[in-house]
Amino acid sequence: MAILDDLSGYDFEDVMVDVFRRLGYENVRQSARTADEGRDVLMEELLEDGTRRAVVVECKHTDTVSRPVVQKLHSAVATYDYDGPVRGIVATSGRFTGPAREYAERVGTHCDGGVDLLDGRDLRDLSEEIGLDLYNGRIEVLCTETLEPTHPLEGPEAPLLEAADAVDHLPLETELSSSGVETACALEPTVTVTARTRATFETSVGVIHRVDERDAVVIDGTGVPSMAPDSARRLLGADRHRRVDLEGATDGFDERTRGRFGRTESEYADWAVERLRRHHTTTVGYTGDNNVDYEKTCAPTSSDVMVEAVDAVYVPHVTATCRLGSYRYVYAYHAGGPTIEVSRNDFDACVHCAGAGEKTYCPNCGSINCPDHTRTERLEGTPVCPGCAVTERFALKRKYFYDEANLEDFRERYASMAIHEKAMENPAGVAVGVVLVLALTLALASGLGVW
């Protein structure tokens, strides 16, 4: 057990909270760290008949644990205020003396009123059994599951192709035949902490505010805890059940990376508790017995927030890229099998103004453009963006061409056109001219007295 030597007694309690929570115990929490009367960790277990039993735990980070410690916990179990059966556990990083084991056997183990014993060897076995690894005196989150990175019937490039298909005049098979689609999958560690906040706030006039809410806090598991991206949170809320083993999950991607959880489960849980305390803190107004209006800030305490579950899973963040002409397009999303939450879609953004909405592809340069940045190529009658087109005025109207060759070709055609054909190169100009001629004619007729 040298790996636990650097832990303090309080650190060892944190470790045990992680272990018991992963073993399936519910409402696992640490008692106040002063005058705990031998009750370091309190939790509940669901029995086969559907009833609940409280479990009181004493944690001892010492080389040996003797009989008085077991006796003290037995007394704490007997006096614990709980509406139902209660049993006890003494957990140590070291070993138990013979008299300590004899006393535990006499009062019974894993039964109401009894006391179970867990020594250092038991803790190592339990940690391996539930997928936890003791390192540097802490329990690292070891996760072996991820949400499905791809649709079970499609490849990783399918969402990009579907997004690109919404762009007008984009022949995908032709344009992507040379460059193709490159895909990368980053497995991002996330932790979902589910907790119940229950608090009642009273004054001399009675209850002024109550909180009874169950919340799920989805945390970015890399580095310092923070809220996971919105797309990942929405995905976990909808598809938490779509999970697969890590092994082979990212086969088929060109690049694959996997992040490492940066904190212990207890640290994630503590962070979520503090965030929920702030979330449920509110200021309420009430009228006192003296008919004077007051305000009171109602802030739940840490003990008002009971952590029910800490669930770790990787969320795939897929990035698919392709090159069209002079432009590189990215389509990125968090994936959960057939469900995706898009975090970036370059196919829905005009390269000139980033505006969303209907888009048209320019085969001349590979740009994707909104209607304000789309023109019609005069010679071929296909879309072209004003950013790459060659322009010249004909019949006082600007015309757009793919290149100088098309412009020169049209010049020759324009030179051979009849006068009315040239005029039709600018119908709006012709209409304005006709209106002006009519207006001038009327003005002249009025001036000469001709009606």
163 and 308 together in one domain? yes
The more confident residue out of 281 and 124 is 281
Average pLDDT estimate for 320-342 = 92
| The domain boundary residue, chosen from 336, 362, 385 | 336
Asked whether residue 182 falls in the same domain as residue 270, the answer is yes
Determine the pLDDT at residue 265.
76
Does any domain span residue 147?
Answer: no
Per the domain annotation, does 398 fall within a domain? Answer: yes
- The gap between the terminal CA atoms of the chain, to the nearest Å, is 115
Identify whether residues 120 and 232 lie together within a single domain: no
Q: Per the domain annotation, does 90 fall within a domain?
A: yes
CA–CA gap between residue 106 and residue 117 (Å, rounded) = 13
Question: Which residue among 105, 138, 171 closes a domain?
Answer: 138
Handedness of CA 245, 247, 249, 250 (dihedral sign): positive
The Cα-based distances of 326 to 258, 277, 364 in angstroms read 32, 51, 9
pLDDT at 449 over 70: no
pLDDT band at 16 (very low <50, low <70, confident <90, very high): confident
Residue among 152, 150, 130 nearest 141 (CA): 130
pLDDT above 90 for 2 = no
Same domain, 71 and 218: no
**Are 221 and 297 contained in the same domain?**
yes
The three-state DSSP-derived secondary structure of 126-153 is HHHHCCEEEECCEEEECCCEEECCCCCC
Is the domain of 162 the same as that of 95? no
For the ranges 184-188, 324-328, 377-381, the maximum mean pLDDT occurs at: 184-188
pLDDT digits (tens, 9 = 90+) for 110-169: 888 899 999 887 887 887 777 666 544 445 566 788 999 998 888 889 999 999 999 998
**CATH at 80:** 3.40.1350.10
Closest CA to 245 of 320, 341, 170, 147: 147
Asked if residues 88 and 58 have their Cβ atoms less than 8 Å apart, the reply is yes
Q: Average pLDDT in the 12-16 region?
A: 83
Q: What is the mean pLDDT of the chain?
A: 85
Shared-domain flag, residues 169 and 251: yes
Strand-strand pairing, 138-141 and 145-147: unpaired
336, 363, 393 - which closes a domain: 336
Do you know the residue count of the chain? 451
Same domain, 237 and 292: yes
Q: For a pLDDT cut of 70, what percent of the chain falls above it?
A: 87
Please report whether residue 293 resides in a domain: yes
Q: What is the pLDDT of residue 199?
A: 95
Residue 270 lies in a domain: yes
Is 41 in contact with 17 (CB distance < 8 Å)? yes
Find the domain containing 292 and state its range.
158-319+328-336
| Residue 394 and residue 282 share a domain | no
Q: Are residues 210 and 294 in the same domain?
A: yes
Judgement on whether residues 353 and 293 belong to the same structural domain of the protein: no
Same domain as 256, residue 203: yes
Is 145 inside a domain boundary?
no
Write down the pLDDT at residue 138.
Answer: 47
Q: How many domains does one find in the chain?
A: 4
CA pair distance 168, 206, nearest whole angstrom: 66
- Is position 89 within any domain? yes
Instruction: Kindly report, residue by residue over 296-314, the tens digit of the pLDDT.
Output: 999 999 889 988 888 889 9
pTM: 0.65
Using alpha carbons, select from 364, 363, 382, 360 the residue that is nearest to residue 373: 360
**pLDDT number for residue 446:** 64
**232, part of any domain:** yes
Residue 285 DSSP code: E
Q: How many whole angstroms separate alpha carbon 128 and alpha carbon 106? A: 30
